[in-house]
A = this chain, B = another copy of it.
Amino acid sequence: MAGSPSRAAGRRLQLPLLCLFLQGATAVLFAVFVRYNHKTDAALWHRGNHSNADNEFYFRYPSFQDVHAMVFVGFGFLMVFLQRYGFSSVGFTFLLAAFALQWSTLVQGFLHSFHGGHIHVGVESMINADFCAGAVLISFGAVLGKTGPAQLLLMALLEVVLFGINEFVLLHLLGVRDAGGSMTIHTFGAYFGLVLSRVLYRPQLEKSKHRQGSVYHSDLFAMIGTIFLWIFWPSFNSALTALGAGQHRTALNTYYSLAASTLGTFALSALVGEDGRLDMVHIQNAALAGGVVVGTSSEMMLTPFGALAAGFLAGTVSTLGYKFFTPILESKFKVQDTCGVHNLHGMPGVLGALLGVLVAGLATHEAYGDGLESVFPLIAEGQRSATSQAMHQLFGLFVILMFASMGGGLRGLLLKLPFLDSPLDSQCYEDQVHWQVPGEHEDEAQRPLRVEEADTQA
């Protein structure tokens, strides 16, 4: 049905073998390297004289659960908007994130917390692993519908490594502050995916154009994703910030920023819409830009007003991006950005990085008091001035863009290898390439996959 018999046979084995290999290798590495940390190990925890209430679990786990819901429910359903790609959107999100969180536990562990020959894990590593999975899913959004699951797993395999290195360079070598990941998660994930999408450019993609839109119900499913991302974003940005006022302030700032980006999105969507009508694509996506834009600065003394202003700006820019820039991105730059990640994660991520530069540059001992230590330790310890911190933040942005672009490009070339499970140009955005799909209605036999014509790409 989809291509020649040998191609089908290849697909039959490609995904299973890759899953089995990746899971087997990960398990072996876990056996050798991964150990409970002293807050999860039965013996180590009881060796200290701790109150159970002091276990980090109680400060971080509720936030972790919110992040976990965002990654699997939020990202998964947000991409269900395509009319015939719901199984793949939510299913491949599930597969990619389940792999990425294991693999990033290893990569981040080797880079950040490798002591005595072991990686020590606990709720903090769980959050970090989910964050990395989030970046992989952002990249997935840029190539959604045009890649097979084996391709995506390879993308994740390599992106996780690069994510870890990039994060290490920024946070540890440059001393950049980026608690909620405007830079390391959103900007990195978006430009990695966009460059990848550029390399995988399909000039014949209009053969699948009739499946590229939504239907009424798929837009409602996507709103499940949107709303869960929106409500839990305060937990995302605050999940790893300093305990106490730090976590509290980060959640508060994100809450305000998201509210303002929602109003900005509705305003602009109606303004640029046909007949003044709202566009669901804008609401589903641009209203979330408020969470992205304060990812770096929400732990800082952004002020509630600053959060509102930043969120409003992000919602506005993101909506305009969907309306005016996405078509240009495809026609002029040959980037087919299925979910518009450039508008939701790319531009707001860069704005968020710049906002971080600004707010860091304005940091004073007076404004932060003894809290300066937990937000800007290098300034508090006198190793850096606020201006120097700001310059480091700015430099970090360039490092990310370089890493993401090079990485995305290299991976894109790799993914063009002909044996991989890339769908034909006429079969993009179509679940039936990868799934056994029931009909739309009862009594309907399985819908035949329409192959418009022999595809030159095969």
A442-B47 contact given A95-B266, A368-B42, A436-B274, CB 8 Å threshold: no
A273 / chain B contacts, CB cutoff of 8 Å: 12, 436
Q: Which of A18-26, A169-177, A193-201 contacts B (4 or more CB under 8 A)?
A: A18-26
Determine whether A419 belongs to the interface, using a CB cutoff of 8 Å to chain B.
no
How far is B277's CA from A52's CA once the two chains are assembled, in angstroms?
Answer: 48
Tell me the A residues contacting B by CB distance below 8 Å: 1-2, 8-9, 11-17, 19-20, 22-23, 26-27, 30-31, 34-36, 39-47, 50, 52-59, 61-62, 65-66, 68-69, 72-73, 76-77, 80, 83-84, 86-87, 90-91, 94-95, 98-99, 101-102, 121-123, 126, 149, 210-211, 213-217, 219-221, 223-224, 227-228, 230-232, 234-235, 243-249, 251-252, 255-256, 258-260, 262-264, 266-268, 270-271, 273-280, 283, 287, 301, 303-305, 308-309, 312, 366-372, 374-375, 432, 434-444
**Nearest CB of chain B from residue A9's CB, rounded to whole Å:** 8
Which residue among A121, A215, A367 has the maximum number of chain B CB atoms within 10 Å of its CB? A215
Kindly list chain B residues whose C-beta atoms are within 8 Å of the C-beta of A432: 277
Evaluate contact between B94 and A279: CB separation under 8 angstroms: no
Check B216–A263 contact: CB distance below 8 A: no
Are A217 and B219 interface neighbours, CB within 8 A? no
Taking the nearest CB of chain B, how far is it from the CB of A409, in angstroms?
A: 28
In the complex, residue of chain B having the shortest beta-carbon distance to the beta carbon of A32: B305
Additional A-B contacts beyond A15-B267, A45-B245, A216-B438 (7; CB < 8 A): A15-B270, A15-B276, A35-B303, A42-B367, A42-B374, A53-B59, A217-B440
Q: Top 3 nearest A-B pairs by Cβ distance?
A: A43-B369, A42-B371, A12-B276
- Tell me, rounded to whole Å, the shortest Cβ–Cβ distance linking A249 to chain B: 4
- Identical copies of this chain, number: 3
Cα distance A218–B416 in the bound complex, in angstroms: 35
Q: Are A65 and B368 within 8 A (Cβ)?
A: no
**List of B residues within 8 angstroms of A223 by Cβ:** 76, 90-91
Residues on the B chain within 8 Å of A434, using CB: 277-278
Closest to A246 in B: B42
- DSSP majority for the A interface? helix
Determine whether the beta carbon of B62 is less than 8 Å from that of A65: yes
A260 to B66, CA, bound (A): 21
The answer to whether B252 and A36 touch across the interface, beta carbons within 8 angstroms, is yes
Could you jot down 12 A-B contacts, CB within 8 Å? A1-B275, A8-B275, A12-B276, A30-B256, A42-B245, A50-B244, A101-B255, A101-B259, A123-B251, A216-B439, A277-B436, A278-B435
Min CB–CB distance A257 → chain B (angstroms): 11
Chain B positions within 8 Å of A271 at CB level = 12-13, 16
Residues of B within 8 A of A441 (CB): 83, 215, 440
* Cβ contact within 8 Å between A230 and B304: no
A230–B72 touching, CB < 8 Å: yes
A30 to B260, CA, bound (A): 12
Residues of B within 8 A of A372 (CB): 42
- Residues in B whose Cβ lies below 8 Å from that of A243: 52-53, 55
Residues B249 and A42 in contact, CB atoms below 8 Å apart? yes
Given A13-B276, A42-B368, A95-B262 in contact, is the A210-B443 Cβ separation under 8 Å? yes
Complex: how many Å from CA A93 to CA B190? Answer: 29
A41 engages B94 (CB within 8 Å): no
- Tell me the bound Cα distance from A19 to B30 in angstroms: 51
Find chain B residues with CB under 8 A from A90 CB.
Answer: 220, 223, 227
User: Which residues on B sit within 8 Å (CB–CB) of A228?
Assistant: 69, 73
Quick one: which of A232, A374, A442 has the most chain B CB within 10 A?
A: A442
- The closest CB in chain B to the CB of A259 belongs to B98
Determine whether the beta carbon of B245 is less than 8 Å from that of A41. yes
* CB within 8 Å for A308 and B65 given contacts A40-B252, A217-B217: no
Q: Are A436 and B80 neighbours in the complex by a CB distance under 8 Å?
A: no
Question: Does the CB pair B438–A266 fall under 8 Å?
Answer: no
Cβ-closest chain B residue relative to A283: B91
Name the B residues within 8 Å of A247 (CB-CB). 55, 57
Assess whether A260 is in contact with B102, with CB atoms less than 8 Å apart.
Answer: yes
Contacts A245-B40, A249-B36, A434-B278; is A27 near B217 (CB within 8 Å)? no
